[in-house]
Structure 1
Amino acid sequence: MLLLRSGACFFSDNGPIRARLQAIAERGLLGPDASRRIANSFAPVLRIWAEVLSVNGAHDAICGFGLRDVAHDQGLPVAMVLWRDGARLAILGAGAVVSKLNDQHAFVRAPEFDLAVGDVIEFGIKHPCTTIDKHDLIFGLDEQGDVSVALRTFFG
């Protein structure tokens, strides 16, 4: 059995851990090789994909995940990629923001993108530990983005 004490050690994040590692690398106190490894070795890998369920105009969407599905204690999820009909349509970056979560929905504002019902948005997580404990299974993807493994989680 594999035992992980912290999700951030294994999955990294799109929030405080990532920011701290980048700050350590930028200070350069451990030398250029160590700084380069710190900056490039830890990449966030835990994602939530959610369908756009409703749009209010072209730039405001309600997506199908919420407080029950994702951590919010260290910040809201980060909108990363817009998918349409199974193809990557756009990298969202700072052009899309999760403005709030309710129990089962996420509210996304994307003024630079035209969102449509049925689109899928890929979100990064700011606190993997408290996201992982909300799910019985975590799916691992291969290089092509196909599910290659299902990992059961246990908490006690």
Structure 2
Amino acid sequence: MTDKLHAADTPPAADEPPPAEEPPPAEELRLPDELYVPNELRVPDALRVLCRLDDLADGESKGFEGAAGSFVGLFAVRQGDQVHVYANACPHIGTPLDWVPGRFLSADRSRIICATHGAEFRIADGLCLRGPCRGDVLDAVQVQVNDGVIYVSTTAGV
């Protein structure tokens, strides 16, 4: 009579890793204490961090990526404590507004300028004042500024 070894009965070779252990049930999973963030400091699921307010100088603009899966980016303009965020798309033909990456404003920083046809938009509400889309408005994005951080919707720009 011969003894036959089954694969499950054979010990792993020296160069093979040991079999993986089953993960604990979800209710037992917990972040290590150094990574735990109290609920009151967490970003709500429907919002994402755009940037810190200090990263956007007063009177300046900055471009950002759009929502996951979006082809349209976002841009923000700061005027004092006010931050205005819009989809980076001209209402005339949908092209990006920036002349070069991150440059959206006129030389005197009083208007948003479209790089394609020179349309001029009011910063406060995105209304086109001059150009082929006069009377149209930029697609505004709802903004929240809390504790020096700028938040927008996770779907902003879609």
TM-score w.r.t. length of structure 1 = 0.28
Q: Which structure carries more helix by proportion?
A: 1
Structure number with the bigger relative contact order (C-alpha 8 A, sep ≥ 6) is 1
Answer with 1 or 2: which has the greater Rg: 2
TM-score w.r.t. length of structure 2 = 0.28
Q: Which structure carries more strand by proportion?
A: 1
